[in-house]
Amino acid sequence: MPPISQTKKSSKTKQCDLTKRLLAWYDIHRRVLPWRDPKGKRADPYRIWLSEIMLQQTTVQAVGSYYRKFLALWPDVKALAGAKQDDVLAAWAGLGYYARARNLHATAKIVANEMSGKFPLTAQSLRALPGVGGYTAGAISAIAYDEKQAAMDANAERVIARLYAVETPMPKAKVELHALCSALVPERAGDFAQALMDLGSAICTSRRPACPNCPWMSDCKARKRGIQELLPVKAPKMVRPLRRGAAFVALDKSGAVLLVKRPEKGLLASMLEPPLGPWEENFPSSARALKQAPFDATWKKRPGIVRHGFTHFELEIEVYMAEVANHPKLICHSQPSACGKRSTRGEGNPGVKHRPGSKDLDSLPSVRETRASPGMTRWVNTDDLRKVALPTVMRKIVEHALDTGGLLFSLRKP
């Protein structure tokens, strides 16, 4: 049996060999991305931070146009800090998980006003910023400063799980995977982090991984056992409960739509929406829905429904539309996410876990039949709806009411 010191030396040599092969592969096959600087050029922390916040739970394909738009509007952190939150939310509209946009703006203000426009140099310090968790802090510090951090996104976790054949189910396996990856991080920490991301995206994919093209194929324990497509082991999916309600889209004679600003905290905070009724287990009857309308008018229910998925629940909305000659005074406006005693934690996350197969809506934030006072209202011309902070689900509702066939999205420019 070899001495312990010799075993450790052999393991370290193996780790260095794995790292060298991955970086050699990356130097040839690295992806060209809007936020990725050419080889040899030091990354801009502002751009890395901006891209990593946008990439949280969002694909590279979806982020590209938003990233370029944000840079054009706010080329540095001081410019972003000086922007109005409503403008930031409007530019973010359609990208989802809107708490990220609010945290983005809050962080920009902190960095610009309290840190002289310079981002913290370490992952530990970065984690103190709003919206920056463990992975994001590690990715920023590694890519921007080459700090030896294991940036473990879903791609990296998949690669490491297969390389070492880790069969512990997610998310319990995260700690083990992070430790295994940390042991591999070299001096070129930023390139290593991006190499893992690229390898997982292009080669070590969830289905049908291109193992013959992988620089780690000969060392992959999962491949040797023929279980690469089974890893990482995922936890059972939770069934998301279904909530239903009514929305009211009013159109004036100039072609403007009535929108209301949501509360500053909770689901879709500070975003715009058409007036809504409460979200409950069943759709309201037509008579009940009309009592939830923001004002008296000839409301007509549109055929069909609007469906949208939030993180922890599904939503179905029946849409009522009315055309008005003048701007009537609002009687009331429901704010389903603001009602009840319990608050939400993030976009569509009611802060509770649901059992598989459960349809119990009692565990979600409650809603009241009585409606809240109107929030800040505005009439927005349909030609300008693409320019305001209207989240995807609300765009769907307006499109359904106006029968645009997705016009708000098709006309949206990067």
387: left (phi over 0), alpha (psi -120 to 50) or beta: alpha
Closest residue by Cα to residue 58 from 109, 95, 20, 11: 95
52 is annotated as an active-site residue? yes
* Contacts of residue 28, Cβ cutoff 8 Å, sequence gap at least 6: none
User: What are 401's two structure tokens?
Assistant: 């009411």
Q: Are 14 and 188 contacting, i.e. CB atoms less than 8 angstroms apart?
A: no
* DSSP of 299-342: -EEPSS-EEEE-SS-EEEEEEEEEEESS-PPP---B-TTT-SSP
Q: Where are the alpha helices (DSSP H) in 32-151?
A: 45-55, 60-73, 77-81, 85-92, 99-114, 123-126, 134-145
Chain centroid, CA 236 distance in Å: 21
- Residue 409 to residues 95, 190, 274, 302, 413, Cα–Cα distance (Å): 12, 35, 17, 20, 9
Orientation angle between helical segments 85-92 and 60-73, nearest 10 degrees:
150
For 15, other C-beta atoms within 10 Å of its C-beta total: 15
Residue 29: phi and psi, rounded to 5, are -110, 10
Active-site entry in 52, 157, 273, 318: 52
Cα–Cα nearest to 135, from 29, 37, 57? 57
8 Å CB contact between 142 and 192? yes
Any residues with CB less than 8 A from the CB of 124 and at least 6 apart, and which? 137
Return the active site residues: 52
